[in-house]
A and B are shown apart, each in its own frame.
Chain A
């Protein structure tokens, strides 16, 4: 491969490099703009000069203007709750589909797959009625309930579980391990990349979900970050981009940094999980 190093870049490579840089710059622009406005006074929202004074006031006023700490806490609680429930429910269901034969399996699996397209996001009207009947309107649990049995999760885990060698399963059975024991000791360890990949998709989706939480919550104690941000920016007075963007960075910052740091691992877990 040493020959590659001394080879001059071809025209093709140069073109591709510049095209990539251009697109990357376009893609980064909104984030760059958010960072710019958040750290400069409002007068520089539309005025990009290199010597604009830096400030942290926007973060201070965003922090003072809305209970972002609470919104952030609600979101973390929500995302964790959904993730844990999804892991438990989807694991059990996927295990049932992959390991057992029972009447109605084919039909039930089709019904599970149906949720890949008919997702709860579009059934807001009827789900709202159900949540009201359960007397759970305006609770964090209500935001998560429609999502905790995920067709996508069951499908993915079933795929992974089906690739577990039968011999491992049988060996454990011979030793007298219970079904739950086999699931715990044989299947789940082998499916780690799938859990990671699925977890990432789930966390980023529910962290950013807006429509259903908007409908089902209406108080500070339950609102996730997304709804909090929309309430915060939808005021009678004009838009203050500097403060809104400071709030955005504050609330998405941790997730953003985590994802950017571990990107390579994500791609690998996607690869190993067979999501490709």
Chain B
């Protein structure tokens, strides 16, 4: 039953949000694609249509390919570990272990601290010679100094650690909320049956937590493309772009090199990547959580 009056109201209530949503999400997504076919305006020379030139440049741009690969490893490194740790943290904090309140505070603190500020602290941890990691290594084991950020082989891993540290506590909250709504009867029943904790976790808890895991994994995927603040402070993408990620490269291209046409082309790639993920995940989402 669809009353005329009803849908006028529907539209009325919806329109303020839609105006902003379209202005800052859908409209720019479309103009990004359009801009990617134009050159960058300079001074009084306007942008002109250049067809696929930006895309040709993209294919030949070895920095782009490097950054894309970095982003792949960054996602692969951060997503499973941060989710796994978040679950582990939530299980611990939700148990009867001693010191769980203090631990919860510790796990959660990174969520509230701005990444841009704590990146300076991590920079100190990683500094060769007098940094915390090296003081520890030489003090306890007599090992030589290690330059984690100044070596293209280790820099990305070092950045992944920072991202995991930042994210895991936030995801823990979601798991904690889910765990607290699991009926205690289930655990009691498992105990009566003589099932091991591990069996209970695998066969009872994990399936129950599936919707949370999906929700958290969507967040983790988004973050793997969005989390770039620490790069500004710690490496500026170096050495030789070994720690640069796609969004950081877009930033550099648009606001340091002033190549807005090419930056739009890079954004198109990011949009395509996200759309593929969106399609994949919404299907999963659809099956597991019905939002009708």
Complex contact flag A–B (Cβ < 8 Å): yes
List residues of A whose CB falls within 8 A of some B CB: 4, 12-13, 16-17, 19-21, 23-25, 27-31, 33-34, 45-46, 88-90, 92-93, 95-97, 99-103, 105, 108, 111-130, 145-149, 151, 154-155, 158-159, 162, 179, 204, 207-208, 210-211, 214-215, 225-226, 229-230, 233-234, 239, 241, 244-245, 247-248, 251-252, 255-256, 259-260, 263, 266-268, 270-271, 275-276
Q: Does B99 contact A (CB under 8 A)?
A: yes
* Minimum Cβ distance to chain B for residue A172 (Å): 15
* Minimum Cβ distance to chain A for residue B248 (Å): 9
| Inter-chain contacts of A149 with B (CB < 8 A) | 16-21, 24-25
13 contacts between A and B (CB under 8 A): A20-B89, A27-B169, A28-B105, A46-B130, A92-B16, A99-B10, A101-B7, A121-B247, A122-B247, A125-B260, A208-B116, A260-B105, A276-B177
Determine if B108 and A123 form an interchain contact, defined as CB atoms under 8 angstroms apart: no
Q: How many A-B residue pairs have CB under 8 A?
A: 308
Give the size of the chain B interface in residues (CB under 8 angstroms). 106
Tell whether A89 pairs with B17 under 8 Å between CB atoms, given A27-B169, A28-B106, A30-B125: yes
How far is B260's CA from A101's CA once the two chains are assembled, in angstroms?
42
Determine if A119 and B29 form an interchain contact, defined as CB atoms under 8 angstroms apart: no
Determine if A117 and B9 form an interchain contact, defined as CB atoms under 8 angstroms apart: no
List residues of B whose CB falls within 8 A of some A CB: 1-2, 6-7, 9-14, 16-21, 23-29, 31-32, 35, 85, 88-89, 92-93, 95-100, 102-118, 120-125, 130-132, 135, 165, 168-169, 173-178, 180-181, 197, 211-212, 215, 218, 222, 225-226, 228-229, 232-233, 247, 250-251, 254-255, 260, 263-264, 267, 270-271, 274-275, 277-278, 281-282, 291-292
Determine if A123 and B14 form an interchain contact, defined as CB atoms under 8 angstroms apart: no
How far is B118's CA from A107's CA once the two chains are assembled, in angstroms?
41
Tell whether A23 pairs with B24 under 8 Å between CB atoms, given A179-B9, A252-B117: no
Determine if B109 and A31 form an interchain contact, defined as CB atoms under 8 angstroms apart: yes
| Inter-chain contacts of A24 with B (CB < 8 A) | 99, 102-103, 106-107
How far is B233's CA from A230's CA once the two chains are assembled, in angstroms?
8
Q: Which single residue of chain B is at the shortest CB-CB distance from A183?
A: B13
* Minimum Cβ distance to chain A for residue B200 (Å): 13
